[in-house]
Each structure stands twice: as C-alpha cells, then as structure tokens.
Amino acid sequence: MSKKNILPEGTRDLILDECIIKRFLERNIDGIFEKWGYKEVITPTLEFYETFNYNSQSLKEEDMYKFFDNRGRILVLRPDMTIPIARVVETKLKDSKIPIKLRYTSNVFRVHASLGGKRNEYTDCGVELIGLEDKKSDLEVLVLALEALKKLELRDFKLEIGNIGFFNGAFKNLDIDQEYKENIAQFIEDKNMKSLEDYLDTLDIKDEYKKFFNKLPWMFGDKKILEDAKNIAFNDDIKENLEYLEELYEQLDELGYGENVTFDLGMVPRLNYYTGIIFRGFGEGVGNTVLRGGRYDSLIQASKKYIPAIGFSIDINSVIPNVNIYNDLNNDENLCKVFYGAENRIEAIKKSEELRREGFIVELLPTENINEIKIIKGGEK
C-alpha cells in the first residue's frame, strides 16, 4: 500500500456516523459545563516543550511529540490540557477574580507504546475550577463529573475516587529517596502485587509500612473499603484523608449518586501534580477509562503563591463505539431528498432552502431523465 494512504501509528480517521456521534457528544458535554458557569478557553495545539518540562516532571519526554521551530526552540503537540490552562491562568488571567471556572474541548497527543492499542490523538472535553480549596470545590466537580458521565448515556457508569494524600501520608515520617517512592507508586498503580512485595523486601523500612503498601493494591470497592482501610491507617494524615473521602461519599449519596461511586485507595496516577482527591470514570462496555481528574494545588502559581485547583477531562473518542443514542441522531423524519433535472436546478435549490428553514436536513440529487422536482421526506420510499 502506498505511504500516502497510511496513517501514523495511534491515529485514525473518524467518518460519517462516527462524526455525527462525536459532535453530538461534544455539544452535550460542553453544554453541561456551560450551564454550570464554566467559560470556554482555547489554547494552541503547539506549546513550548519547557511548558511541560519546567518544574513539573509530570510527563516523560518520550511521551511527547517534539520538533523544532525556525529558531531551533523545541515545540510539542500538547500532551495534556491542565498545564496549558495553568499557563493561561498565570499570565492572561492572573488578575481575574477568584474562583475561575474554565472549560475546553481540545485534541491532545500522547506517544504510547507500539502495538499497545492506545490512541496517540484523542479529544478531551474538560473543566478546571481554580482558586478554591478542597472543601469548597471538590463536591461540585465530582457532581459535575457524574452528570457528564450520565449525559454519555452509558448503560452503567461508575466514578472511582481515590486520594493521593492516602498514599503520600504514609511517607510523612519515612525517610526514603524519591526514586523508591516512585517505584512503589508504579507497582501499586499497576496492581503488580508480587513485584511490589519483592521490592519492599529490599528496602530498609518498618514492617508496618510494608504491610500498608502491600495492602494498597487491594483497597478498592464500594464504601465499605473505607472502613477496612482504617485498620491499616497508622498515622493521622492517613486517617484524615479517609475521613474526608467518607464525608464526600455521604454528600454524594445524599444527592442521589451513591450507587455510581466506588473507591480505589491504591490509585496513584503517573501525573505527579495531583495533591488531593483523584478520580476516574468508567462505563460498561468501554475498555478504557472515560474520565480522569483530580486536585492539583501546587501547579498554578501567581504572586509567589500557589493557587488551589481541581479539574477533569472526558475522552470523547473512547465512548463513540459504545454510544447508545445513534438512532435518535439519525432520525429519518429529519431527512429530506430533493431529486431534480437540469432544467429545474434553480427551483430545486430554492425549494431546498425552504425545507431547511422548516428544520429538515436536505440533500440535493441531480437526476437524469426527470423533468420535475421530486421530494422524499423522512421514511418515505
């Protein structure tokens, strides 16, 4: 096959019905965010590499598409939307009144391992609530995430909540190199129990720490897991983070979302700018994570002080094959075909405009051996 007909690895074309569904989902999700008072922001597809590399260490260099501009500076296709929004807040919105509520619909780009089945380009619809600490904003964002998942019309969806403070709290009085901490986090996030156990045995730490970390990959499930976690909580930081998750669950349950909420205390995402609650959304039949988000209080800085923030994004592309609303989108009653001959071209165009004003989607079809205009509406044959 000619190279001109081959796409780069990790990308794909969306055509016809897929485009209809994608645009419908984008409008629906964006509409929810707008009704909650979030203002739209559009950032460039291209950013300086330094924007993602400076002081964040949140993304690996090999995960980004990099190239040079005409001055030799390194550019990247944005691999994330939170960091560009942090840049916007620190510059153009630095004097804005708090809180700042922003929304976006943007393509992002990540280099994934070959043959891993993951897309390297996908569309994120997301929000960022900036300027309010956890107890003033976490609940709002979690409810908005649940409402967005509901809008996707998935058969069964769950929002899985964790707290990076539960993991970090264990290190409060533990003198250990950052490299060891990152390795432990990776084993826990991957739920690689045997490798985690073997690795911990090589470290000179107390047994209570080993017991705690070995248990973390198993600490997921419904609200009962929070009670079980109290049995391995050995300091006040860990206990306080558990109590906060309990408080959030009670509030979400009171609002009617209890059945859609689960917990994973071993959730330790690779993006290391998270500082508080972290969460992921799943839907039945969707193999990938649909939604990702969390709190990041140490990323956005203004006037030498960090600004608290929380946000999430939805991977629209992951939902398209599983969406259950196509029949509503492709309603034959809204379709109309106008057949016409060469002598009736002008009249046919005028008639098609009348039909469009009435709300029809009209397709003009020039036809040979016809001396009149023929209109077929909806499901007519």
Rounded distance between C-alpha atoms, residue 337 and residue 136, angstroms: 54
Rounded distance between C-alpha atoms, residue 214 and residue 168, angstroms: 15
Answer for the pair 341, 371: CB distance below 8 angstroms, yes or no.
yes
Is 140 labeled as ligand-binding? no
* Amino acid letter for position 166: F
Is 34 labeled as ligand-binding? no
Rounded distance between C-alpha atoms, residue 195 and residue 185, angstroms: 12
Answer for the pair 78, 112: CB distance below 8 angstroms, yes or no.
no
Is 254 labeled as ligand-binding? no
Name the residue among 221, 219, 121 with its Cα closest to residue 230: 219
Is 80 labeled as ligand-binding? yes
Q: Where are the alpha helices (DSSP H) in 264-323?
A: 316-319
Q: What angle do CA 327, 331, 333 make, to 5 degrees?
A: 155
Rounded distance between C-alpha atoms, residue 319 and residue 317, angstroms: 5
Q: Which residues of 38-48 are buried (b: 16+ CB within 10 A; e: fewer)?
A: beebeeeeebe
Rounded distance between C-alpha atoms, residue 225 and residue 97, angstroms: 39
Name the strand (E) or helix (H) holding 213. helix 207-215
* Amino acid letter for position 139: L
Name the residue among 180, 166, 40 with its Cα closest to residue 103: 40
Cis peptide before 99 (omega within 30 of 0): yes
Q: How far is CA 252 from the centre of its chain?
A: 20
Is 190 labeled as ligand-binding? no
The SS3 assignment for 50 reads helix
Number of residues that make up the chain:
381
Of the chain, the end-to-end C-alpha distance in Å amounts to 40
CA distances in angstroms from 41 to 25, 29, 107, 164, 375, listed in the order given: 18, 15, 13, 28, 43
| Binding annotation | 80-82, 110, 128, 273-274
| Binding annotation for L-histidine | 80-82, 110, 128, 273-274
